[in-house]
Structure 1
Amino acid sequence: MPSVQVPLVDGGVLDLGELNDWTIVVVYRGRHCARCKPYLSKLNTMLADLSAIGVAGLAISADPQDRAEADVAEFKWQFPVGYDLSFGQMRQLGLFVSDSIKPAETGRPFAEPGLFVINGDGLVQIVEMSNSASVRPDLDLLLDGIRSIKEKGIPIRGLAA
């Protein structure tokens, strides 16, 4: 995972390149995204199940601090939330990037949905990216898949060419 640093709503800085425990990293479109809220709220309800298999969760977006803080306050997410993901960082992660086209959006480029599962060695075990606000991986299937990978010791597959 590249060294991508973002500030966290609760303070401090997250460096994705320093994650070395099993972690689901959800890149969400931002406060303007109606589909992101239920998805991240579902992740929030799954934190105990994830913790039971040794997996943490977190989310990041390109939103500025005030918008990220508003989401955390409104939806009571219990996982770390990072903000101010830059265009360069989005490209570094290989994410699809969109420009704002509606007044309710951020007014600056933002990432389309992406999800990374970092394993205990700090490597990307699973990656899913979308160029559409409407598509993202099913979290129940993801939990089941991670459980299976960990129980069976399944290696990283599908290495990039």
Structure 2
Amino acid sequence: MEHSNKLRAGDSFPTLAATKLDGSTVTLGKPQGNTTWQAVFVYRGKHCPLCTKYLNEIENFRQAFADTGIDILAVSGDSKEQLEEHLEKLDVNFPIAYGLTEEQMKTLGLYISVPRSDQETDHNFAEPGLFVVNENGKLHVVDISNNPFVRPELGALSRGLAWIRDPSNHYPIRGTLKY
């Protein structure tokens, strides 16, 4: 039985890149602008209506994340064409990248699904994952799901991250005990 290699809280986030629609390369976990942290939301792809809903919901919290110095990036294994089609159903102002490879999905320790049919999609795809990378390139928060129904509630997530980021709380990376 093959075991996946899950990233551990506190690990250095791996250097992985994907592509934005303008053709530029984006490095996952590397904050843009004047932010010092990045939340990387991995989603299943355009075939998933729950992903569409969740990505649109993330937009409602984009400013709350920005106010606490956290940049947002969404990424999937979709092709450029699939992302272009998906954008017709999205109303977001944060970067979305495409082309996450199966090898990159494995590096991130994501669950990977095989499409049920050609109508669903034309490639194996990652199930949802969230990786919040701090200013030191360390994985500060991780949430990995094996299905689209279990994802962090964005209000609780944005409030929790604001609390973690408040220096007066001295909140460490949790879940780092090695066993």
Q: State the TM-score, normalized to the length of structure 1.
A: 0.93
1:17 CA drift (Å): 5.4
Q: 8 Å contact 1:21–1:122 — kept in the other structure?
A: no
In the alignment, which residue of structure 1 is the partner of 2:21?
9
2:41 aligned residue: 26
Matches within 5 A, 1:45-124: 45-124=60-139
Runs of at least 5 residues in structure 1 that lack an aligned partner in the other structure: none
Q: How far 1:118 sits from its partner (Å)?
A: 1.0
* 2:170 maps to amino acid: G
C-alpha distance in 2, partners of 1:133/1:47?
Answer: 21
Instruction: Kindly indicate whether the alpha-carbon contact (under 8 Å) linking 2:44 and 2:76 is maintained by their aligned counterparts in 1.
Output: yes
The answer to whether structure 1 residue 126 and structure 2 residue 141 are counterparts is yes
Distance 2:30 2:134 in 1: 12
CA distance in 2, matches of 1:51, 1:18: 14
Give yes or no for contact 1:100–1:107 (8 Å, CA) kept in 2: yes
- How many corresponding residue pairs? 161
Alpha-carbon distance in structure 2 between the residues aligned to 1:153 and 1:24: 20
CA shift, 1:74, in A, is 3.0
AA partner of residue 15 (structure 2): S
1:71 CA displacement: 1.9
* Equivalent AA in structure 1 for residue 174 of structure 2: R
Q: Which amino acid aligns with 1:50?
A: F
The residue identity in structure 2 corresponding to 1:158 is G
RMSD of Structure 2 on Structure 1 (CA): 1.6
Greater shift in the superposed pair: 23-32 or 47-56: 47-56
Q: Secondary structure at the match of 1:46?
A: helix
Deviation at 1:11, TM superposition (A): 3.1
8 A Cα contact 2:43 2:126, kept in partner: yes
Which of the pair has more CA radius of gyration? Answer: 2
SS of residue matched to 1:35: helix
Any unmatched runs of 5+ in structure 2? 1-12
Structure 1 range deviating more: 2-11 or 15-24: 15-24
Partner of 2:175: 158
| Aligned mates of 2:154, 2:25 — CA distance in 1 | 26
Instruction: Decide whether the 8 Å contact of 1:5 with 1:15 is kept in 2.
Output: yes
